[in-house]
Amino acid sequence: MIAILDYRAGNLTSVERALRFLGFDCKVTDSHEIIRASDRIVFPGVGAAGKSMENLKLLGLDVLLRERLEAGVPILGICVGLQVLFDYSEENDTRCLGILPGSVRLFPRDMRSASGEALKIPHMGWNEVRFRGSHPVFQDIPPESEFYFVHSYYPAPTDPTQVVGEVDYGITFSTAVAHKNLVAMQFHPEKSGPPGLQILMNFCHWDGKAV
């Protein structure tokens, strides 16, 4: 069974629906008992870093997430579920979980595309991700696949060996990271059509072992 962490973030059901569609048993839950009994954990998220950290602490999920990480359970972070894994987020000036070294920053103002068009914030829509390495979760993704993004803050990991995917939007930033039994991505695989579903499928079959 897959536990989808319920920390009162928006739209948890879209991940649930995608996993069900792929034929996997899952449950949106904040129960420590159920989460401990699960084979893998999805840490989704739509919302602000400040409120997310507040809720995680309130529900004791910050400690539990660390415990399951140490236990070797495969964990998938999505969007804010990626962002709060780092040390710090500029959004609401938030101290985060500190599981991954690095921070989360607001996009610079006045970014421009190659053709000089002013770039909007949030970064909303489909963008091409360049995956690198041979991590099992990011296999069988057709070349030039695009993924759905919606965010105003971007991850800035300090350990380059943890970066497995990059994307360009005014700047180049890391959009997928992997560390031991943890993978996390800024885009929404549950809203990215077939290549997104492929990533979810890969995660559900992953033994949690790094390459």
Residues that bind another protein in the complex, under the rule CB under 8 A: 10-11, 13-14, 17-18, 20-21, 46-48, 113-114, 117-128, 142-146, 148-150, 168-169, 190-197
Which residue, 64 or 153, is less far from another protein as judged by CB?
Answer: 153
Please indicate whether residue 190 is annotated as part of the active site: yes
Q: Per the structure block, which two tokens stand in for 148? A: 């759905």
Tell me the C-alpha distance between 141 and 159, whole Å: 24
In the complex, least distance from residue 138 CB atom to another protein, rounded to whole angstroms: 15
What SS3 state is found at 139?
Answer: coil
- Of the CA atoms within 13 Å of residue 209, those in its CB half-sphere come to 2
Choice among 26, 79, 96, 204 that is catalytic: 79
Q: Which is nearer to another protein, 4 or 64 (CB)?
A: 4
- 204 counts as catalytic: no
DSSP secondary structure code for residue 115 in this structure: T
> Which of 91, 123, 188, 204 is labelled catalytic?
188
Give min distance, CB of 161 to another protein, in A.
27
Residue 115 C-beta: closest distance to another protein, Å: 9
Question: Which CB sits closer to another protein, 99 or 201?
Answer: 201
Two tokens at 8? 């009162």
What's the Cα-to-Cα distance from 187 to each of 33, 45, 93, 144, rounded to whole Å?
Answer: 29, 11, 22, 15
Amino acid at 34: I
Q: How far is the CB of 12 from another protein (least distance, A)?
A: 11
SS3 111: coil
End-to-end Cα distance, the chain: 24
Question: Which residues on neighbouring strands pair with residue 81, listed in sequence order?
Answer: none
Catalytic residue among 91, 123, 151, 190: 190
Judge whether 123 counts as a catalytic residue: no
Q: How far is CA 153 from its chain centroid?
A: 13
Closer to another protein by CB, 39 or 126: give it.
Answer: 126
* Catalytic residue numbers, as ranges: 79, 188, 190
